[in-house]
Amino acid sequence: SVLHRTQSECFWGRRENRALLASRGVIGFVAISCFFHSISELPLKDATVINFTSPMFTAIIARVFLGEPWGTQEIAAMMGSFIGVTCIARPPFLFPPQPGDLASALPPSVAQSRAVVIGLVGAACAGATYTMVRAVGKSGEPPLVPVLWFSSMSTPAAAAFLFFFQKPVWPNVLEMLAMATVGTAAFGGQALLSRGLQLERAARATSMQYVKVLFSYLIGVVILHETPTFVGTMGALLIAASAMLVMKEKVDQRADPVGKIVET
């Protein structure tokens, strides 16, 4: 079975882990809801940069609750990746608005200021969920169990919020195919992330998420024929270099078992 039921009591995981798994589902739903709210009120670039503070929250929370140490190269790579994301996203609150970009020149509204706070809350919640996945992964829980809990709790919750607080719109065939594709890709990403958190410390595993911004940038340039900028290209190179630094730290630890940080 894909869930390796021989390693777990059932599809829902070991009984002693279920409270943590349920918390992961609830807090994960809050995290993604906060992110969607932030992108509805903020420029996408601003919301993206705020969302990518989650690996930093993960490192702090994992340090406090799991006692996981921080490697010097690991923290340097995380900070380098965040700077790289900022260079690619070029949020208006850090970079001067381009000519004709009237929206970026406008002062932030109360709703936008609130969205910044909500976005940061979502990033912190995401950091908490990654730490929970790491905790249950260290106990030997199959990586798809946290994904099952998250999907089972977020899907009905999202449907309820949509029904009571928004006007449902039935998608057409192409939109349904697009959403199915996104859902399938997201499931694969969640499964692989859960596996990565099972194998590596939370800070190191989540820092690799910055690479998806690099992939998005490359897809935009190569496939969508977007014009690359100098600052964006430097940001992409910085993310790539930071990812290699994380991998180098792992190789160095394997080559030096005496100084290696003990991991499970």
pTM: 0.81
- Kindly report the average pLDDT of the chain as a whole number: 83
The residue that leads in pLDDT, 167 or 50, is 50
Q: What is the pLDDT of residue 257?
A: 52
The yes-or-no verdict on residue 259 having pLDDT over 80 is no
Average pLDDT score over residue span 97-119: 67
Angle formed by the axes of helices 173-199 and 110-138, nearest 10°: 50
Q: What is the pLDDT of residue 251?
A: 67
pLDDT digits (tens, 9 = 90+) for 71-103: 787 888 889 999 988 888 877 767 766 554 544
Burial class of residue 135, CB neighbours in 10 A (0-12, 13-18, 19+):
buried
